[in-house]
């Protein structure tokens, strides 16, 4: 795919984007579909993020959850702070400010010709969805595709409609679990690591990708290593606080690394040299 996405050299000035659709998959998450004044604003790589701004309420880094090959540009936003609470009160037709995209994005070319094992925990499914959709849209470029998803509970599951498609799709081997079950839940109950015994992979050909809450990484890495995937074939996207996205404000730093510049996607080999990473 073309990696010559446009980095907007506008400093802190956001572009105005119009909300064209809002869906609410869970009590705390909404998916916003945005329309930009120019199409080049839509160019990005999977796992890149944007700074979302509403004047008077500040800015926050939000991962893009649509694929670069999608017609629609989407952000999945959890209601957690003043900006995101305000965002949840917005209606179709309202405008928000966007600057970016920022971060390195996923090096999709390293996945080509390989088997894929994606692991998403909780809200980590949002940034990973960008890459999942990209893989499904360009399915012939990749080998076997296994996708694992863990949510806290059945009603915390994101993108349930797509999950239903993945469950029956011949293009992806999808497994999911919830930490805490409910009366009507017929699926797996247990941590995401409990899904690993169910899957068979060829470690020689497989690339592992992990996106989830901070606690999840070392446990999932351990499972992937048990499956004999090598360090250099494991990638992960890491979350940090960000105030500028421009490699200056210092909040996203892990040891000497600015996540907004060198990340959020890291290879596990590099992560092992960064003590504060996982």
Partner 1 sequence: MKIYFLPKDKVKLLVESVLDEFQVFGAKAKEMKFEFGKIDTAAELRLDYNTTILPPVKTFFPNDEKILEFKPNGQTTSVHENSKKVLFGVHPCDIHAIEMMDNIFSTPPEDKHYLERRKDSIIIGINCNTPCSDKILCYDKGTYKADSGFDLMFWDNGESYLVEVVTSLGNFLASKFSYFFNFFTEYSGDFHEFKSEYHKRQDFVFEKKLTRKISELPEAMRQSYESELWHEVGAKCLSCGSCNIVCPTCYCFDVKDVVDIDLAGGHRCRNWDSCQNLDFACVGSGENFREKSSQRNRHRVFKKEVYLPQNKGYSGCVGCGRCNTACIAGISLIDIYNNVFSEEV
Chain residues in the site for partner 1 (CB under 8 A):
7, 9-14, 16, 53, 55-60, 78, 80-81, 84, 95, 97, 123, 213-215, 239-241, 243-244, 246-251, 253-256, 275-276
Residue 89 or 275 having the CB closest to partner 1: 275
Question: Is the sign of the CA dihedral 236, 54, 6, 29 positive or negative?
Answer: positive
Q: Which residues of 11-47 are buried (b: 16+ CB within 10 A; e: fewer)?
A: eeebbebebeebeebbeebbbbbbeeeeeebbbbbbb
The tokens of 232 are what? 């250099």
Residue 175 or 240 having the CB closest to partner 1: 240
Residue 131 or 242 having the CB closest to partner 1: 242
Rg (CA), the chain: 18
Which residues are registered as beta bridge partners of 147?
118, 174
DSSP state of 44: -
Cα gap 239→242, rounded to integer Å = 9
The answer to whether the CB of 212 falls within 8 A of the CB of 119 is yes
Residue 187 or 250 having the CB closest to partner 1: 250
Question: Is the sign of the CA dihedral 152, 153, 154, 156 positive or negative?
Answer: negative
Residue 53 or 146 having the CB closest to partner 1: 53
Q: How far is the CB of 93 from partner 1 (least distance, A)?
A: 13
Residue 1 or 249 having the CB closest to partner 1: 249
Q: How far is the CB of 61 from partner 1 (least distance, A)?
A: 9
The label of the residue with tokens 């390195």 reads 104
Which residues are registered as beta bridge partners of 268?
none
Q: How far is the CB of 90 from partner 1 (least distance, A)?
A: 13
Question: How many other C-beta atoms are found inside a 10 Å radius of the C-beta of residue 160?
Answer: 12
Q: How far is the CB of 98 from partner 1 (least distance, A)?
A: 12
Q: How far is the CB of 135 from partner 1 (least distance, A)?
A: 26
Question: How many other C-beta atoms are found inside a 10 Å radius of the C-beta of residue 136?
Answer: 19
Q: How far is the CB of 38 from partner 1 (least distance, A)?
A: 16
CA distances from 163 to 34, 147, 172, 187, 267 (A): 22, 10, 11, 13, 27
Residue 189 or 246 having the CB closest to partner 1: 246
Q: How far is the CB of 200 from partner 1 (least distance, A)?
A: 33
């Amino acid at each position: 795919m073309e990696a010559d996405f446009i980095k907007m050299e506008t400093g802190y000035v956001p572009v105005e984007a119009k909300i064209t659709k809002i869906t609410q998959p869970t009590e705390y998450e909404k998916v916003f579909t945005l329309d930009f004044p120019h199409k080049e604003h839509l160019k990005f790589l999977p796992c890149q993020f944007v700074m979302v701004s509403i004047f008077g309420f500040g800015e926050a880094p939000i991962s893009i959850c649509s694929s670069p090959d999608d017609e629609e540009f989407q952000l999945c936003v959890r209601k957690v702070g003043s900006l995101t609470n305000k965002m949840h009160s917005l209606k179709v037709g309202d405008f928000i400010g966007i600057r970016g995209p920022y971060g390195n994005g996923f090096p999709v070319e390293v996945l080509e010709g390989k088997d894929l094992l994606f692991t998403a925990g909780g809200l980590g499914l949002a940034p990973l969805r960008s890459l999942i959709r990209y893989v499904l849209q360009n399915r012939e470029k990749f080998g076997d595709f296994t996708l694992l998803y863990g949510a806290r509970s059945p009603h915390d599951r994101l993108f349930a409609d797509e999950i239903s498609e993945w469950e029956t799709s011949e293009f992806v081997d999808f497994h999911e679990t919830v930490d805490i079950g409910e009366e009507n839940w017929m699926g797996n109950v247990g941590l995401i690591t409990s899904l690993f015994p169910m899957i068979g992979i060829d470690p020689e050909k497989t690339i592992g990708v992990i996106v989830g809450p901070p606690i999840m990484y070392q446990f999932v890495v351990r499972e992937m290593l048990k499956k004999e995937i090598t360090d250099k074939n494991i990638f992960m996207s890491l979350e940090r606080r960000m105030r500028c996205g421009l490699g200056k404000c210092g909040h996203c730093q892990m040891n000497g690394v600015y996540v907004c510049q060198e990340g959020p996607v890291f290879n596990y080999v590099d992560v092992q040299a960064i003590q504060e990473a996982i």
